[in-house]
Amino acid sequence: MSSSIDEIQDQVIEEFQLFDQWIEKYEYIIELGKNLPGLDDQYMRDENLVPGCQSRVWLHAELKGGKAVYAADSDAIITKGIIALLIRVLSEQPPEKVHEAELYFIDRIGLKDHLSSTRSNGLVSMINKMRTVARDLSKIA
Amino acid sequence: MSGKVTSFRKFDVEKIRNDFPVLHREVNGNPLVYLDNGASSQKPKQVIDRMTRYYEHEHANIHRGVHHLSQRATDSYEQVREATCNYLNAASSREILFTRGTTESINLVACSWGRHFLKEGDEIIISTMEHHSNIVPWQMTCEERGAKLKVIPISKAGELDMEAFQNLLNERTRLVSLVHVSNALGTINPVKEIINLAHQCNALVLLDGAQALPHMKVDMRALDVDFYAFSAHKMLGPTGLGILYGRESLLDSMPPYQGGGEMIERVTFEKTTYNELPFKFEAGTPNIADTIAFGSALEYYDEFDQDELIAHEQDLLAYAGQRLSQVDGIEFVGMARDKAGVISFNLKDIHPFDVGTILDQMGIAVRTGHHCTQPLMDFYGIVGTVRASFAFYNNQTDVDALVDGVEKASAILL
């Protein structure tokens, strides 16, 4: 049995509690960004582009074995690191769970600012798009 | 100009910083290092206090009010028009129009002058380094009138190609609309030479001075410029107020920009006649409080010897440039010989957003992104830059903090 969205969120929160300094936290996020495979060239298309003024985000979603599977990329590494966390929490979950999920981990690990609309980094739009896609996929599943 | 004898305040940056309350706050547990002055300057308490005093004791709608408060507010408001006229050495306060900002000032000219005077085949010249505010209004007007937009190329250093400019100028050129100081690069353009060349071709010149006036005094009559647009909030004043200087004969010949109250002389359902300058261009209740507080910003500048402010900013710029050049991976964008207030850079191919995020954690406010100059970023083949922009209240500690921050960002991100 794989972990639920909330179980993974709690794991992430616990991991981030290890960091005393902001710099350690960001080094970890940057590491996550560097390790995220990103998107195949075939998916780096304009229709997968989530609009963001500062950094750009590409998102691809598909249904595999009844689960929503996400892959994403960004041209900014910190954004990409946060994407890695979002994928870890939301990917390979039943689409209806993704659609309903309450994402509390972002706030708890002190990255809430990154989700304010003024950041214009594409993350808010990305989460919205992940949910919309999940809703659409849940109709197919 | 008035013949008053001015005794300047001695330039002491630490003392000046005490006039700016926000500079004493912390951000993310660190003292604020405010290097986003190109986006908006901070406000001295003299400006903040003036606005508060106005709302607490003096507020009323202006013009045509018979009562005491209205007359007093009208006087204060119109005195700022007079003060702005003196500050710019314009010929008359009728040449000073209050708008919402530089963007509206340019749009006013594009709509009023552009729609009325441009014909098919006419040409307008802008440059590669323009802010979107000095591109889009002209694109819209040119499309409507069948006029053509021509663009002066720039060098890699971020300087206008003056030879190309002279080749673009011809008898069809009606207007040259250029940025005085580039917001993204800091380049100070040779505006006097440009105005002379344009006038020889009977073309008008509009200058976007939003980034110039915070760093230098500009004399309208000495420049012989036709239109000059800028914003109060970038030069210690409140947000939501812009100024358009326009040569009186030109403004007189232009139709109103918006219709409504204030701008009329007499309204009947058959015909409306318009008010005289400058009111013809100021429909509706104006931004009274901000305008009055802007007067205090101008007074604040006048307390100092401008040459000392400029010298201090140039020292900061040189010091920042010299120290930042030592940082691993730094690539400066825009290396013009004449620059004001701005250092734009990238750390190799790292996204400027990432650098800005790390700096923000350290309480350092810079701007990242394309700075509303996408064609300029396209020219350099980059998505954006990190821009540190200075004001005279910045000090060496600010530069040192910036350098520490960029070094840290370089260590983490590269």
pLDDT value of position B261: 85
pLDDT value of position A55: 84
Nearest to A77 among B354, B369, B408 (CB): B354
B368 contact residues in A (CB cutoff 8 A):
54
- Please check whether residue B383 touches A, CB under 8 A: yes
pLDDT value of position A120: 62
- Please check whether residue A57 touches B, CB under 8 A: no
Q: How far apart are CA B131 and CA B373, in angstroms?
A: 5
| Domain assignments of chain B as residue spans, ordered by start | 13-38+305-413, 50-302
| φ and ψ at residue B273, rounded to 5 degrees | -105, 150
Give B50-302's CATH code, choosing from 3.40.640.10, 3.30.530.20, 3.40.50.170, 2.60.120.650: 3.40.640.10
pLDDT digits (tens, 9 = 90+) for B309-365: 999 999 999 999 999 999 999 999 999 999 999 999 999 999 999 999 999 999 999
pLDDT digits (tens, 9 = 90+) for A98-123: 999 999 998 899 887 776 656 566 77
pLDDT digits (tens, 9 = 90+) for B135-157: 999 999 999 999 999 999 999 99
Work out the number of other CB atoms within 10 angstroms of the CB of residue B319.
14
Do A55 and B353 make contact, defined as CB atoms within 8 angstroms? yes
Catalytic machinery residues of A: 53
- Please check whether residue A27 touches B, CB under 8 A: yes
Q: How far apart are CA B364 and CA B33, in angstroms?
A: 5
**Domains of chain A, CATH where assigned:** 5-140 (3.90.1010.10)
B353 contact residues in A (CB cutoff 8 A):
54-55, 76, 78-79, 121
Structure tokens at B31: 């003292």
- Please check whether residue A53 touches B, CB under 8 A: yes
| Residue B126 vs residue A111, higher pLDDT | B126
What end-to-end distance do the CA atoms of chain A give, in Å?
A: 19
| φ and ψ at residue B276, rounded to 5 degrees | -85, 175
Do A121 and B353 make contact, defined as CB atoms within 8 angstroms? yes
To which H or E segment does residue A7 belong? helix A5-16
Q: How far apart are CA A129 and CA A106, in angstroms?
A: 17
**pLDDT band (50, 70, 90) for residue B373:** very high
Q: What ipTM was predicted for this assembly?
A: 0.90
Q: How far apart are CA A12 and CA A109, in angstroms?
A: 8
Do B408 and A23 make contact, defined as CB atoms within 8 angstroms? yes
pLDDT value of position A133: 87
Whether B1 has a pLDDT exceeding 60, the answer reads: no
B413 contact residues in A (CB cutoff 8 A):
30, 77
Work out the number of other CB atoms within 10 angstroms of the CB of residue B348.
11
Q: How far apart are CA B182 and CA B185, in angstroms?
A: 5
pLDDT value of position A6: 96
Fold agreement between B13-38+305-413 and B50-302: no
CB contacts < 8 Å between A and B, how many?
A: 36
- Please check whether residue B353 touches A, CB under 8 A: yes
pLDDT digits (tens, 9 = 90+) for B193-237: 999 999 999 999 999 999 999 999 999 999 999 999 999 999 999
**Residue entry with tokens 């790390």:** B358
What mean pLDDT do residues B24-35 have? 96
Mean pLDDT of chain A: 88
Nearest residue in A to B405, CA atom:
A23
pLDDT value of position A53: 60
Mean pLDDT of chain B: 96
pLDDT digits (tens, 9 = 90+) for A49-102: 887 667 888 999 999 999 999 999 999 999 999 999 999 999 999 999 999 999
Helices (H), B62-161: 68-88, 102-108, 115-117, 136-145
**pLDDT band (50, 70, 90) for residue B395:** very high
Nearest to B413 among A30, A53, A79 (CB): A30
CA distances from B91 to B208, B219, B298 (A): 19, 10, 18
**pLDDT band (50, 70, 90) for residue A141:** low
CA distances from A121 to B14, B305, B356 (A): 36, 42, 12
Residue A76: burial class (beta carbons within 10 Å; 0-12, 13-18, 19+): buried
Do A75 and B28 make contact, defined as CB atoms within 8 angstroms? no
pLDDT digits (tens, 9 = 90+) for B256-296: 999 988 888 889 898 888 999 999 999 999 999 999 999 99
What mean pLDDT do residues B83-100 have? 98
**pLDDT band (50, 70, 90) for residue B2:** very low
The packing angle between helices B396-413 and B352-361, to 10°, is: 120
SS3 of residue B97 by DSSP: strand
Work out the number of other CB atoms within 10 angstroms of the CB of residue B295.
22
| φ and ψ at residue B148, rounded to 5 degrees | -115, 145
Q: How far apart are CA B229 and CA B106, in angstroms?
A: 7
pLDDT value of position A98: 93
B383 contact residues in A (CB cutoff 8 A):
75
Nearest residue in B to A21, CA atom:
B361
User: Is residue B85 among the annotated active site residues?
Assistant: no
The β-bridge relationship of strands B30-31 and B26-27 is antiparallel
What mean pLDDT do residues B90-105 have? 98
Q: How far is B26 from chain A (nearest CA, A)?
A: 16
A53 contact residues in B (CB cutoff 8 A):
369
A55 contact residues in B (CB cutoff 8 A):
351, 353
Nearest residue in B to A114, CA atom:
B357
Nearest to B412 among A26, A55, A75 (CB): A26
pLDDT digits (tens, 9 = 90+) for A2-37: 799 999 999 999 999 999 899 999 999 999 999 999
Mutate to test the interface with B, among A54, A57, A111 (most CBs of B within 10 A): A54
SS3 of residue B104 by DSSP: helix
Nearest to B354 among A22, A27, A76 (CB): A76
Q: What is the CATH number of domain B13-38+305-413?
A: 3.90.1150.10
Structure tokens at B339: 């620059």
| φ and ψ at residue B384, rounded to 5 degrees | 175, -170
The β-bridge relationship of strands B330-332 and B26-27 is unpaired
Q: How far apart are CA B278 and CA B81, in angstroms?
A: 10
Q: How far is B408 from chain A (nearest CA, A)?
A: 9
In A57-132 the beta strands, taken as DSSP E runs, fall at 57-64, 67-74
Q: How far apart are CA B360 and CA A42, in angstroms?
A: 35
pLDDT value of position A138: 83
Q: Which residues are within 8 A (CB) of B15 and not within 5 positions of it... i.e. 6 or more apart?
A: none
- A 67-126 residues with CB < 8 A to B: 75-79, 121
The DSSP symbol for A118 reads: G
Name the percent of chain B lying above pLDDT 70.
99
Mutate to test the interface with A, among B30, B346, B349, B351 (most CBs of A within 10 A): B351
**Residue entry with tokens 């390790």:** A35
Residue B5: burial class (beta carbons within 10 Å; 0-12, 13-18, 19+): exposed
Nearest to A54 among B28, B369, B413 (CB): B369
Name the percent of chain B lying above pLDDT 90.
93
Nearest residue in B to A54, CA atom:
B369
SS3 of residue B198 by DSSP: helix
